[in-house]
Amino acid sequence: MYTTNQDDHNDLFQEMILQLWKAFPSFRNEAKITTFMYRIALNTAISGIRKKKIKTTELESISFQIKETIEENFSDELKLLHASIEQLSDVEKSIVLLFLEDKPYDEIAEITGISANYVAVKMNRIKEKLRKLLNVK
Amino acid sequence: MVELENLKDIWKQHIDPTIDKQNIEKQEIERLLKGRSTSILEKLKRNLLLEIAMFVVCLLLVAAVPFYFNSTPVTILFIAALVFIFIPYLFYYIKKYNELNKFSIFHNDIKTSLQSLILQLEKFLKIYFYGSLILAPFSVFISALACLYEMKALGYLLYFDEFSKPTLAIILSFALVFTLLSYPILKWYLRKLYGQHIETLKEYLKELEEVE
């Protein structure tokens, strides 16, 4: 979701593993281990310097960036979902990812640092955005 | 048309099983952990280490100068430069490096992490920018004076009295012009290195902070 090619994907994955490894001694059981891990992974994805993305507003052109494996193995619905999420901002991507992972709003709030109410507002906006994007196709 | 209510189901059906299949081996994790970090903090730390190394080289060069010049004013000038400019800068950079080593943002929530990271980046850039700008005229002034002294020792520019008021004024003006010229270059360089990234991080933070 945060990368557009395999090299960037591998770099980001490596960085997440590195940051998880470094941060693990600071884990104090104050939050669930999954919350802790999501925080690290999403912080790494959002705060990292990445190569410039090709900016485009056309859903069709975005769909070309979907990985070959997804093209080959996954359904049209998933391809469409993936292409639509690509259009969101990095912050929105993190919220929608947590939503798709079935995280309750309280936990999304704990990971993102915004209130649960605001997560709900934000999620509604994202849903609206995705609805429009999905309907374009 | 894909119904939004079905998004989770689509995700679970297709993505979750794939993630389960991608369990990585211990050796693969070891390989990944040996890799070079590309995080912004690591980049800052690497740049700071480079700065510290450059400062140590400059410090050694400046410290060596009085051994080659027998003139008392030149010796005093270089000792003063060491004590008042180079050593404090070096200590500051080492302090900053230690701070960055202890600084960890990744286990905080995204909003707090972004706030801390932006604050740290802006603080670093501000001090780096003004530090370099202050250091530039001193470095140019001392270097120009040393060059002039050396040229005279080699038999050139004998008509110059390097410690006369007009000569010092010319060197000082040259140092100030150099500083003025370095201002936009330094600004461009820092913006190229980190500035655009800070803007992006600020946009994300704004997005998290915006309230209906």
Find the distance separating the first CA and the last CA of chain B, reported in whole Å.
30
How close A88 gets to chain B, by Cα (Å)?
12
Nearest CA in chain A to B1: A135
d(CA A70, CA A101): 18
Residue B76 has pLDDT above 70, yes or no: yes
Instruction: State the DSSP H helix or E strand holding residue B149, giving kind and residue range, or none if neither.
Output: helix B110-153
**Chain A residues within an 8 Å CB radius of B29:** 17
Cα distances from B147 to residues A55, B65, B150, B176, B197, in angstroms, run: 52, 11, 5, 17, 40
Give residue A58's pLDDT: 40
Position A98, amino acid: L
Residue A3 has pLDDT above 60, yes or no: yes
DSSP output for A13-67: HHHHHHHHHHHGGG--SSS-HHHHHHHHHHHHHHHS--PPPPP---HHHHHTTS-
Report residue B37's pLDDT band, with 50, 70 and 90 as the boundaries.
Answer: low
> Which tokens in the block code for residue B117?
């990271």
Task: Evaluate the CA torsion angle B34, B40, B43, B48 in order and state its sign.
Answer: negative
Interface predicted TM-score of the whole assembly (ipTM), two decimals: 0.75
* pTM of model > 0.80: no
Give residue B18's pLDDT: 57
Residue B77 has pLDDT above 50, yes or no: yes
Contact call for residues B94 and B52 (beta carbons, < 8 A): yes
Domain membership of residue B11 (yes or no) is no
| Percent of chain B topping pLDDT 70 | 78
Report residue B149's pLDDT band, with 50, 70 and 90 as the boundaries.
Answer: confident
User: Which among A73, A92, A103 is positioned nearest to A130, based on CA atoms?
Assistant: A92
Which of A13, A40, A43, A80 is most worth mutating to test chain B (most B CB atoms within 10 A of its CB)?
Answer: A43
Contact call for residues B179 and B186 (beta carbons, < 8 A): no
Ranges B20-24, B33-37, B189-193: which has the least confidence: B20-24
Residues 6 or more apart from B140 whose CB is under 8 A from it?
B174, B175, B178, B179
Domain membership of residue B29 (yes or no) is no
d(CA B126, CA B194): 12
Nearest CA in chain B to A107: B109
d(CA A54, CA A56): 6
Residue B110 has pLDDT above 80, yes or no: yes
How close A38 gets to chain B, by Cα (Å)?
9
A10-20 residue pLDDT tens? 778 888 888 88
Give residue B184's pLDDT: 92
Cross-chain CB nearest to B32 (options A14, A36, A78):
A14
Length of chain B in terms of residues written = 212
Residue B1 has pLDDT above 80, yes or no: no
- How many domains does chain B fold into? 1
B122-142 residue pLDDT tens? 888 888 888 888 888 888 887
Report residue B4's pLDDT band, with 50, 70 and 90 as the boundaries.
Answer: low
> Which residue has better confidence, B5 or A126?
A126
Give residue A59's pLDDT: 39
DSSP state of B158: T
**Can you tell me which residue has the tokens 């704990």?**
A110
d(CA A116, CA A110): 8
Domain membership of residue B123 (yes or no) is yes
How close A54 gets to chain B, by Cα (Å)?
15
Domain range enclosing B167? 39-209
Report residue B22's pLDDT band, with 50, 70 and 90 as the boundaries.
Answer: low
**Chain A residues within an 8 Å CB radius of B104:** 22-23, 26
Cross-chain CB nearest to A26 (options B14, B39, B104):
B104
Burial bucket for residue A133 (CB in 10 Å: 0-12, 13-18, 19+): buried
Give residue A55's pLDDT: 44
A29-84 residue pLDDT tens? 777 888 888 888 888 888 876 554 444 444 344 444 444 444 555 567 777 777 88
Domain membership of residue B176 (yes or no) is yes
| Percent of chain A topping pLDDT 70 | 77
How close B48 gets to chain A, by Cα (Å)?
18
Task: Evaluate the CA torsion angle A114, A118, A123, A129 in order and state its sign.
Answer: negative
Residue B21 has pLDDT above 70, yes or no: no
Residues 6 or more apart from B103 whose CB is under 8 A from it?
B41, B116, B120
3-state secondary structure of A1: coil
d(CA A102, CA A124): 15
| Percent of chain A topping pLDDT 90 | 3
Domain membership of residue B204 (yes or no) is yes
Contact call for residues B57 and B107 (beta carbons, < 8 A): no
Domain membership of residue B21 (yes or no) is no
**Can you tell me which residue has the tokens 């038999």?**
B155
Give residue B23's pLDDT: 60
Contact call for residues A125 and A107 (beta carbons, < 8 A): no
